[in-house]
Amino acid sequence: MSSQSPLAMSEVSQALCIFFIFLLPLALAGLALINVGLSRLRSAAHSMMAALCLVGVAAATYFVTGFAWQGYPGLASHSVNIFGKEWSWLGAGNMFLRGVPLDGSRASLAALLQLLSVGLAALIPLGAAAERWRLRASCLSTVLLAGITYPLFAHWVWGGGWLERLGANYGLGAGFLDAGGSSTIQVVGGLTALSLVWLLGPRRGKYNLEGMPAALPGHNTVYVLFGCILSVMGWMGLNAAGSMLFGGVPLGRTVLVAVNTLMAAGGAVLAAAVLTRYRFGKPDASLSANGWLCGLVASSAGCAYVPPAAALLTGLVAGALVTFTVPWMEAHLGLDDPAGALSNHLLGGIWGLLAVGIFPRTLPFVLFANATNPPAAPGGQLIAQVVGVATLLGFVLPLTYSLNWLLNRFFPQRIPPEEERHGADLYELGAGAYPEFMTHTEEFSQW
Amino acid sequence: MSSQSPLAMSEVSQALCIFFIFLLPLALAGLALINVGLSRLRSAAHSMMAALCLVGVAAATYFVTGFAWQGYPGLASHSVNIFGKEWSWLGAGNMFLRGVPLDGSRASLAALLQLLSVGLAALIPLGAAAERWRLRASCLSTVLLAGITYPLFAHWVWGGGWLERLGANYGLGAGFLDAGGSSTIQVVGGLTALSLVWLLGPRRGKYNLEGMPAALPGHNTVYVLFGCILSVMGWMGLNAAGSMLFGGVPLGRTVLVAVNTLMAAGGAVLAAAVLTRYRFGKPDASLSANGWLCGLVASSAGCAYVPPAAALLTGLVAGALVTFTVPWMEAHLGLDDPAGALSNHLLGGIWGLLAVGIFPRTLPFVLFANATNPPAAPGGQLIAQVVGVATLLGFVLPLTYSLNWLLNRFFPQRIPPEEERHGADLYELGAGAYPEFMTHTEEFSQW
Amino acid sequence: MSSQSPLAMSEVSQALCIFFIFLLPLALAGLALINVGLSRLRSAAHSMMAALCLVGVAAATYFVTGFAWQGYPGLASHSVNIFGKEWSWLGAGNMFLRGVPLDGSRASLAALLQLLSVGLAALIPLGAAAERWRLRASCLSTVLLAGITYPLFAHWVWGGGWLERLGANYGLGAGFLDAGGSSTIQVVGGLTALSLVWLLGPRRGKYNLEGMPAALPGHNTVYVLFGCILSVMGWMGLNAAGSMLFGGVPLGRTVLVAVNTLMAAGGAVLAAAVLTRYRFGKPDASLSANGWLCGLVASSAGCAYVPPAAALLTGLVAGALVTFTVPWMEAHLGLDDPAGALSNHLLGGIWGLLAVGIFPRTLPFVLFANATNPPAAPGGQLIAQVVGVATLLGFVLPLTYSLNWLLNRFFPQRIPPEEERHGADLYELGAGAYPEFMTHTEEFSQW
């Protein structure tokens, strides 16, 4: 994969790849709508305003330094030699994208893709920290994400770094595989979300004195479910572009990528609807939406490598994962995550990464007729994936937690609890989202 | 058309076709929003939740068996020989898309297109049966649609079946022409909608004891009209992809397809706005939105064959059609169809199919400068189109009605009328879409 | 630029260009949502209904006569010879797009692009004249815009006209440069908006007897901000398609165009958020959304010519521009412009046009590594841009004002002020947008 020249790509492939990348704003739009819909009414404008700002901050930061430190296979990077093996650990490009001709080369497409996908990563903590994360702090936290955490880990996976070379260097399958960003985008964003949920604590009124969680339903289920449909289009673009740029798949194979993305989302929403029906008596709309999104997240890593039946199965598991872990994290871990981002993006991403290593070995062969690129050494592939996940949990989580902890020292990230009652809209923006609609705000305020 | 190899397509055409297909989720998103906006508030979450589930069910069912039975010109199919002519009546592929290399071949693109467009067909009955169709039953009904009705008829039109061969076998024009799915998607979905409206009966409170209909306005006109704008983009993709895959048009001609799609929608919304203005004193927003959608539906069949002026005229007629038939079906046929799906998709689709046979013969020649592919034998073309429509009404309607009638025996499809008052949201999902907004629910409940 | 044959374009470029054009409906959808969200609740359905109608009217008008009068380099046009130089001032094509083969040629792509972008121009006055512009009059005014003003000026810039030839004829840089339509779409639309704001006067209750403006906040901030995210995707398509068709840039350079578009929007929203924070104490969501949009508008002219750092700077200035001019025009010029269209589209467009002439000369060279097409004669370039802006203000403004003034004589464009209190929805459509939600209409009615 890393043997490609950073410049060579046929014009048709360039054009198709440009097209895929141009779909990413729909993933941003969908995720932003899901976040807004799952927030309470008093924070709706704040949530959407923050989404717009974070997309801007993420793109600007990544433009200034992010891509320089991430790099691309074939571009300059910093390496250390450990026991005779080259470990590339950081890109060594120029700031402001200087030296990356924005002319359709592979490297330029990777840069464009990530100017948008780093914004997607930034929206993940926004959902988890909804209603209590200050706008200024969220912008500064996004600078850390887009400037440090994201490019560092993405270099290892997508920029020619050591995780990508696990296969070549140590014979672990084809190296750590992640075509669409289950790790670089989703888990990295999810770990930032986890750090913030820890640092900010739950919303006022979420838990009573005995620690029992209260239900604080989102204010617009239509936004949430509509956002899911937009997201699938954005994700089809994301997965397909990633597969071409980081997975090295040929143009026509993006059909497989799209089928897989769709199967994962469809399977996940059905699993979540059926399971919530049996667990709670009625299907739960917001958990089903979370399921759909979790299916998309889990589809990313393997979208270019597994047959559609495996993608469907990945989605079914993702839907089940959401159904069980969202209530469990809320009730037993005390994690107040209004958008379910920890389940969707963190756990869903990890599941997707592992699925790449699991499915090619265990699925009945008959379903494999379409698998056109089985990893070279199936056994080692799962180990490579586990190494990647361990790196995320063992290195990226402490890093992002420390950075956000430090930030919190200087710029308190949390809206003062006594102001939460009036909502983030009034406190931070001075105006609500829906001034002419009558609302039940008091009833839903609690405490 | 059916002489193309299922594999041959230039890389550029593949790329463009992939792009067009990737736009389809916007047609789903638009149609889902239109359905939601035209439902009452108490069923909003239910409508959108069902949309998400039906898209998932449709894709999964079509993946498992649908495409195997639909096939594609050049793939295996079941035929009978009648009076010396080959009648291909069912595809003979493998389940799970096995044997269809998902590599950008024509057959793989047709499969991907329809994993999405079968979901579009499934959203049509959802609009017509809004507020009273149970979620489980709608999922099962979609299994029947995506697994049986849709692939069967689509094989005849798009899979190398007998309708497509009417030209070659009997000299009827170029055979039954439907580039963008006016029949396979829209009329098939519309006939399912008609069956359900018959089976479920009207909403509680829609008709009084004398059979006079009450106005039950949709709860969000902004959603409806916004959904129209999203739909046009999805339809441009649908029509263009269908034209390339099923109409055999070259890449550049998709410009004509896009112009035609746009002209039909524009003409239809203007016709509907002007006609409702003169019929009811003021332009009617929801009928105008229906007009726009009906224009899109009618544009599909002929988008690749007629000049833009004919498309504009097709749209004008479609807009008029909606204006007259929506109130008429409601008042005189006792059909309670909140989304106007019967006019938009069923009648609009039939009109579009016939227009392909009518316009090339009757429009003044001067408008034809752009028609680059006039059907070979104009006279026979209209007959071919009529044969297709007759097949839809005479075969597909009884089939889909019987299937849904049977389903209704085992899984009652209707929400119990005594529960309707509280809305599908509460009854099926246990929660409303907008918990924090104050509503006039009681006033709008009626009975 | 004008030396290209109207027919020659590689198939890959055609395909990519078709794709870019197909994204434009998202710019329409986004702008329509922004307009609706910034209107008051009582006019929400009217705003969206008008958007749908204007898009239809604009496309139909442009189809009938617009493109004939605009033309394309290489197609027939009317010229006068002044002092030995050819001045092409009007296209000389056929009505109904006859003679333009809709087959993927450059001319056909330009026609398709503008069937949509002329609708974008029509939505600009709709935002500025919100809540008081009659539907019929707005349709007729759009006929004038799409049939006369737009094609006339667009011929001069994009159709081989005299502004485009300023470079070849008088050595002014590369002639008037506007790759994405800052002038032809945005400023032309903005000048129409200005004319209407003058002709219609402010909304009832906007100014008290002393001329002090009242705040009449929009009714849905989520729509506004969500519309911004959709817009960026539409604009990426608009800028990229324009750059290929009117800027003559090669396929791969559209990566630069996309990066620039994103940088301008991101920079603008951050500038607006920070500046409103310091000016008003809290960041203002609606001004920030206006900033984002203004950044997009300003990015269009130079998107293909400047390095990303210049685009970022263009955006920062655009964000500041909005922050200062929106309140200033409202308070000191008595211009009641609910959507901020005058700042976003008129001033933002002019700024974008001038920026093309300014930045290549003044930015430090180090940021230029990516500028691959510096205008030939930097000094003259700014003069060419100023000539274009002067033409807009000195010729297009009087023209569009006169046309709308004349229209107003025969079809009064304003909703009678005594009816405004009940809202455009009730007066023009007979029904509100949200019949089941309870609203504070009375409180927000004022006077």
Give C98-121 pLDDT, tens digit per residue. Answer: 888 888 999 999 999 999 999 999
pLDDT of residue A71: 92
Q: Distance of alpha carbon A63 from its chain centroid, rounded? A: 19
Tell me how far CA of residue A444 lies from CA of A39, A48, A214, A447, B442, in angstroms: 12, 20, 11, 9, 21
Dihedral sign for Cα A111, A115, A119, A122, please: positive
Whether the per-residue pLDDT at B4 is higher than 80: the answer is: no
Mean pLDDT of chain C: 91
* pLDDT score, position A1: 35
In angstroms, the Cα distances linking B13 to B104, B112, B239, B240, C14 are 10, 15, 15, 11, 11
pLDDT in tens, A257-294: 999 999 999 999 999 999 999 999 999 999 999 999 99
Helices (H), B281-396: 285-302, 308-332, 341, 348-362, 378-391
Q: Show residues of chain C in contact with A28, CB under 8 Å.
A: 229
Judged against a pLDDT cut of 50, whether residue B65 lies above it is answered with: yes
For residue C8, the number of C-alpha atoms closer than 13 Å in the C-beta half-sphere is: 6
Q: Return the percentage of chain B with pLDDT > 90, whole number.
A: 77
Can you tell me the ipTM of this complex? 0.94
The answer to whether B251 faces chain A, any CB pair under 8 Å, is no
Q: Is C14 on the interface with A (CB under 8 A)?
A: no
Query: Which residues of B are less than 8 Å from C98 in CB distance?
Result: 366-367, 369-370
Interchain proximity C372–A103, CB inside 8 Å: yes
CA–CA distance, A115 with A120 (Å, rounded to integer)? 9
Nearest to B232 by CA among B190, B271, B261, B270: B261
Instruction: Characterize A76-94 residue by residue with b for buried, 16 or more Cβ atoms within 10 angstroms of its Cβ, and e for exposed.
Output: ebeeeeeeeeebbebbebe
pLDDT digits (tens, 9 = 90+) for C323-376: 999 999 999 999 999 999 999 999 999 999 999 988 865 444 434 444 444 444
* CA–CA distance, C233 with A255 (Å, rounded to integer): 23
**What pLDDT score does B295 carry?**
98
- List A residues 191-230 in contact with C (Cβ-Cβ < 8 A): 223
What pLDDT band is residue C6 in, cutting at 50, 70 and 90? low
pLDDT at C70 over 50: yes
The C-alpha atoms of residue C283 and residue C136 are separated, in whole angstroms, by 38
Question: Buried b vs exposed e over A214-235: b needs ≥16 C-beta within 10 Å?
Answer: eebbbbbbbbbbbbbbbbbbbb
Which residues, 6+ apart, have CB-to-CB distance to B304 below 8 Å?
B179, B180, B239, B243, B247, B249, B253, B256, B257, B260, B373
**pLDDT at residue B141 tops 80:** yes
Please give the full DSSP string across A21-50, using - where no structure is assigned: HHTHHHHHHHHHHHHHHHS-GGGHHHHHHH
Which helix (H) or strand (E) element contains residue A310? helix A308-332
DSSP string, C319-367: HHHHHHHHHHHHHHS----TT-HIIIIIIHHHHHHHHHHHHHHHS-GGG
User: A436 to chain C, minimum CA–CA distance in Å?
Assistant: 5
Cβ neighbour number for residue B9 with a 10 Å cutoff? 23
Q: What is the pLDDT of residue C1?
A: 35
**Whole-angstrom distance, CA of residue C154 vs CA of residue C69:** 9
Q: How far apart are CA A151 and CA A166, in angstroms?
A: 19
Measure the CA angle with vertex A80, ends A78 and A84; round to 5°. 140
B417 pLDDT tier (thresholds 50, 70, 90): confident
Residue carrying the six token digits 């056929």: C94
Is the distance from CB of C283 to CB of C273 less than 8 angstroms? yes
| Residue C133 β-bridge partners | C414
Point out which residues pair with A213 in neighbouring strands: A207
A84 touches B: beta carbon within 8 Å: no
Q: Position A332: which residue type?
A: H
Q: What's the confidence (pLDDT) of residue A305?
A: 87
CA distance B277 to B256: 31
A22 close to C16: Cβ distance less than 8 angstroms: no
Residues 6+ apart with CB under 8 A from C149: C188, C192, C396, C399, C400, C403
* Tens-place pLDDT, residues A202-239: 999 899 999 899 999 999 999 999 999 999 999 999 99
Rounded Cα distance between C125 and A198, Å, is 48
Answer yes or no: do B49 and A221 touch at CB < 8 A. yes
| Average pLDDT, integer, range C413-429 | 91
Grade residue C281 by pLDDT with cuts at 50, 70 and 90. Answer: very high
Q: Residue A420: pLDDT band by 50, 70, 90 thresholds?
A: confident
Rounded to the nearest angstrom, the minimum Cα separation between A186 and chain B is 22
H-state helical runs in B65-165: 67-70, 106-128, 135-144, 150-158
Q: Is the pLDDT of residue B296 over 60?
A: yes
Give the rounded percent of residues in chain B with a pLDDT score beyond 70. Answer: 92
Say which of C19, C262, C280 has its CB closest to residue A59.
C262
Residues 6+ apart with CB under 8 A from B51: A225, A229, B28, B31, B32, B35, B36, B123, B126
pLDDT, mean of residues B384-394? 96
Q: Which residue has the tokens 């229906």?
A: B290
In terms of CA atoms, which chain C residue is nearest residue A36? C222
Query: Residue B208: exposed, middle, or buried by beta-carbon count in 10 A (0-12, 13-18, 19+)?
Result: exposed
Best of C53, C233, C254, C411 to substitute, by most chain B Cβ atoms within 10 angstroms, is: C53
Amino acid at C318: A
Helix, strand, coil fractions of chain B, as percent rounded to 5 = 70, 5, 25
Strand (E) or helix (H) holding C300: helix C285-302
Location of structure tokens 């099962």: B140
d(CA A287, CA A338): 11
- Direct distance between the N- and C-terminal alpha carbons of chain B, in angstroms, rounded to an integer: 56
**Is the pLDDT at C267 greater than 60, yes or no?**
yes
340-379 in chain A: CB under 8 A from chain C? none
Q: Is there a contact between C226 and A21 if contact means CB atoms under 8 Å apart?
A: no
Cα–Cα distance, A263 to A306 (Å, whole number) = 12
Q: What is the pLDDT of residue B421?
A: 86
Q: How far apart are CA B74 and CA B77, in angstroms?
A: 9
- Roughly what angle, to the nearest 10 degrees, separates helices B150-158 and B378-391? 170
- C34 vs B: CB within 8 A: no
Q: Confirm or reject contact between B440 and chain C (CB < 8 A).
A: yes
Phi-psi region of A96 (alpha: psi -120 to 50; beta: other; left: phi over 0): left
Question: Is there a contact between A52 and C289 if contact means CB atoms under 8 Å apart?
Answer: yes
Sequence letter at residue C171? G
In DSSP notation, C114-160 reads: HHHHHHHHHHHHHHHTTTTB-HHHHHHHHHHIIIIIHHHHHHHHHSS
Query: Is the predicted pLDDT of residue A373 greater than 80, yes or no?
Result: no
Contact yes or no for A63/C263 (Cβ under 8 A): yes
Q: B359: pLDDT confidence band, cut at 50, 70 and 90? A: confident
What pLDDT score was predicted for residue A98?
87
DSSP assignment of C362-415, as one string? Answer: HS-GGGGGG-----SSHHHHHHHHHHHHHHIIIIIHHHHHHHHHHHHHHS--BP
Average pLDDT, rounded, for chain B: 91
pLDDT at A445 over 80: no
Q: For residue B83, what pLDDT is reported?
A: 81
> Which of A411, A396, A414, A424 minimizes the C-alpha distance to A192?
A396
**DSSP three-state, residue A19:** helix
Does A16 contact B at CB distance below 8 Å? yes
Higher model confidence: residue B365 or residue A260?
Answer: A260
Contact B55 A229 (CB under 8 A): yes
Rg (CA), chain A: 21
Q: Which of B141, B176, B179 minimizes the C-alpha distance to B161?
A: B176
Query: What pLDDT is attached to residue A360?
Result: 67
Distance from CA of A238 to the nearest CA of C (A): 14
Q: Which among B33, B46, B40 has a CA at the least distance from the CA of B415?
A: B46
Nearest of C28, C398, C20 to residue C194 by alpha carbon: C398
Q: What backbone phi and psi angles, to 5 degrees, belong to B91?
A: -70, 160
Residues A246, A179: contact at Cβ < 8 Å?
Answer: yes
